[in-house]
Amino acid sequence: MIVLLIARGSKDCDSCDCEPFDIEITNNFTFFQNTYYNNLIKIVKVVPYRCYDIGKFNSAIFSDPLIGKTLMFPECSCSGKPVVRNMKTQYAPGDNPSEYGKSFFSVIYIPDTI
């Protein structure tokens, strides 16, 4: 297994305790500050049923396994009314502000079928 670490000096994002960090490149959930997969902010190796605070994200790619659903929350700590994304057909939200009228800050992956 090859692991690539990207050192970031700082990142321009809206809260959820955004700090400089290293990213382990994995085949999992990738989050972007801008729409259509621009300005990478975080790559997360997800564990089912766990809340992940991402910071403000406007697009994302949710990769394998493409089963179950992902809940995207408009607030940190998986708070607020979530939007549910079907992993089989909705695994790459490209423009959250246009599609939902807002950005998101946290997610939970639920591997159960919809």
pLDDT in tens, 17-33: 554 444 433 348 999 99
Residue 5: other Cβ atoms inside 10 A: 10
Q: Is residue 11 situated within a structural domain?
A: no
Residue 75: other Cβ atoms inside 10 A: 15
Q: Is residue 28 situated within a structural domain?
A: no
Note the pLDDT of residue 63: 83
Confidence of residue 14 (pLDDT cuts 50, 70, 90): low
Q: Is residue 17 situated within a structural domain?
A: no
- Structural domains in the chain (count): 1
The CA distance from 62 to 69, in Å, is 10
Residue 46: pLDDT above 60?
A: yes
| Residues facing 84 on adjacent strands | 71
Q: Is residue 69 situated within a structural domain?
A: yes
Residue 41: other Cβ atoms inside 10 A: 22
What is the domain extent for residue 41?
35-110
